[in-house]
Amino acid sequence: MFRDREDAGVKLGLELSKLQLHHPIVLALPRGGVPVAVEVAKALHAPLDLLIIRKVGAPGNPELAVAAIVDGDPGEVVLNREIVETYALDECELRVLIANERPELERRRAAYRWKTRPISIAGKTAIIVDDGAATGTTMKIAIRALKRRSPREIVVAIPVSPQETVVELEQEADRVVCLSQPGQFRALGHHYLRFPRLSDNDVVFAMDEAAQLYKTGQRHVSGLAVKNRRSH
């Protein structure tokens, strides 16, 4: 049981800091993953970015993902081929379903990113953070999309998840760090004492705060380096 998302992030950051990861970039899945990822980024002294994903639901069953649109430069569409085949969807039907979800992805991009571009993860360690994973569907999509961006390594970092989901994620990512794998996994909020709904403004505020902290830390490190060079 975690006190809140921030508490989970602090504990997750401690575990990740033991791994000595190469050039880590922390990627939060909004909204719930953002407070967790902020604390992870602090612990690793790493830059924080968002990985914005919009699920494309199956006809008549919007909770079942036939695909997902992943924001980026360029953006990507990741298909859930098993579900596509189950529903016998052709290319035209898929295009319509995907087009219906693009406005919401673009709204989220505008709300969260303003004019900032995604951080490149090429040759670096991409750490995908969320506040938990029940089925792991969104996380799997995130992993598959990031593999196309040539990271050195992909690490999944989550506070809580069912053991069977963790096993599935381990087949997709290079590493999975999960703090709690309860035998009886209930709704995600039951594993937190405080689990408030987050707004777009909460995401923007947290990301701005994390960016300022990272810049301040970078300036401190840079100043120390200059001082050290002058002392020799």
Contact by Cβ (8 Å): 120, 139: no
Report pLDDT for 137: 86
Q: Which residues contact 104 (CB under 8 A, 6 or more apart)?
A: 54
Mean pLDDT of 113-118: 76
Report pLDDT for 221: 42
Phi, psi torsion values for 204, nearest 5 degrees? -60, -45
Mean pLDDT of 123-132: 98
d(CA 106, CA 112): 10
Contact by Cβ (8 Å): 56, 65: yes
Mean pLDDT of 168-193: 95
Report pLDDT for 156: 98
> Quick check: 119 pLDDT over 60?
yes
pTM of the model: 0.88
> Quick check: 230 pLDDT over 70?
no
CB atoms within 10 A of CB 100: 11
Report pLDDT for 116: 76
| Tens-place pLDDT, residues 81-102 | 888 999 999 999 999 999 999 9
Q: Which two tokens stand for residue 202?
A: 């909460």
Instruction: Provide, rounded to the nearest whole percent, the portion of the chain with pLDDT above 70.
Output: 93
Using the structure block, give the residue that is written with the tokens 């100043």: 223
Report pLDDT for 74: 72
